[in-house]
Structure 1
């Protein structure tokens, strides 16, 4: 397997493609610029099989329906944010997009607990990592030593918690109890900015 990071939209939200040897891929957080993302997928002759959302803020879901409808694939999100896909007040687009409301169709699958998730040949450990938002989740791929953390943990920073449903203490607890429990060599693939390493954040992150 291999992964690639594709920053999308005005906030340069990181979408990730996780690809296996058969060119099947999982799409994480298709936030915006659906046509650009689609062109990248097609140019590499990839075959998307699912969309996984770390959370449902507008900058992570803007291209969900375009990618879902183009490739006829299911969308997964935590049940606590099931309503956010279609509600601009909840997903934040009403507040931040100056009238450009983001509305997507409901997710096909709701994640309601920490568990193993298998989709085709892909396997993930799903961790609930709320704090940035109530339904924030992280996807750990043991074989690659990577975790898709959404907006929970960044290089030398953490997710903002001043949005509706945010909770700073809950976020710090999520990071320390869930993400920092992973092996120190685990690479953190964040929702914005460059990747980092768990050991680096334990030693250097000023918020932790």
Structure 2
């Protein structure tokens, strides 16, 4: 299994494309700039199978409909945010100056509980990691040693909790109970900025140490 990080849009939100030896791929958090995603897919001759969303904030969903329509693939989102995609007030696009309202069609499939999942031949664990938003989830690819965490955990930081449904204590609980229990060499693929590891954040992330 391989992955590529594509920073997209003015906020440089990280989309991820996870692909296997057979040429199938999952597209995670296509926030904007659909052409960059399509160009990579074409370059690698991949076949997209689904769009997975770590959560439904506007900077993670802007290219969802164009990519969904381009490849006729389903969109997956946690049920706690099932109303967010078409609602700018919920997805946050209505409250930021200079941001156009983002209206996306509803998800085709809803995550209802955490556990091991198989989607189009991709095996991974869905971990519920709320706090940044009510329906924030992380996708843990155990055999390949990486986890895609959205805006839950960053290198040297944690997700903001001042948007709708955000809760700091819930976020810290998610990080400590769901993420920091993973092997130290697990790569953490965040929604913004660079890749880190569980061990590095356990040892050096000041937000986690101050609030333990």
TM-score of the alignment, normalized to the shorter chain, above 0.5: yes
Give unpaired runs (5+ residues) of structure 2: none
Q: Secondary structure at the match of 1:94?
A: coil
Change (3 A) 1:67 1:125: same
Question: How many angstroms does 1:143 deviate by?
Answer: 1.1
1:116 equivalent in structure 2 = 116
Give the Cα separation in 1 of the matches to 2:5 and 2:168.
Answer: 27
Give the Cα separation in 2 of the matches to 1:120 and 1:82.
Answer: 22
Matched, 1:12 2:4: no
1:188 equivalent in structure 2 = 188
1:150 equivalent in structure 2 = 150
Give the Cα separation in 1 of the matches to 2:25 and 2:96.
Answer: 31
Give the Cα separation in 2 of the matches to 1:23 and 1:40.
Answer: 12
Give the Cα separation in 2 of the matches to 1:113 and 1:203.
Answer: 30
- Describe the superposition over 1:86-109 as per-residue Cα deviations: whole angstroms up to 9, x where unpaired: 000000001115361101111010
Change (3 A) 1:130 1:63: same
Give the Cα separation in 1 of the matches to 2:101 and 2:120.
Answer: 33
Q: Secondary structure at the match of 1:110?
A: strand
Q: Secondary structure at the match of 2:39?
A: helix
- Describe the superposition over 1:24-75 as per-residue Cα deviations: whole angstroms up to 9, x where unpaired: 1000000001122112211221110000000000000000000000001000
Task: Let me know the Cα RMSD of the aligned residues.
Answer: 0.9
Listed as ranges, the matches of 1:89-168 within 5 Å are 89-96=89-96, 98=98, 100-168=100-168
Q: Which runs of 4+ in 1 moved over 3 A?
A: none
- Describe the superposition over 1:90-129 as per-residue Cα deviations: whole angstroms up to 9, x where unpaired: 0000111536110111101001111211012211101100
Structure 2 length-normalised TM = 0.96
Give the Cα separation in 1 of the matches to 2:99 and 2:134.
Answer: 24
Structure 1 length-normalised TM = 0.98
1:52 equivalent in structure 2 = 52
Q: Secondary structure at the match of 1:200?
A: helix
Q: Secondary structure at the match of 2:207?
A: coil
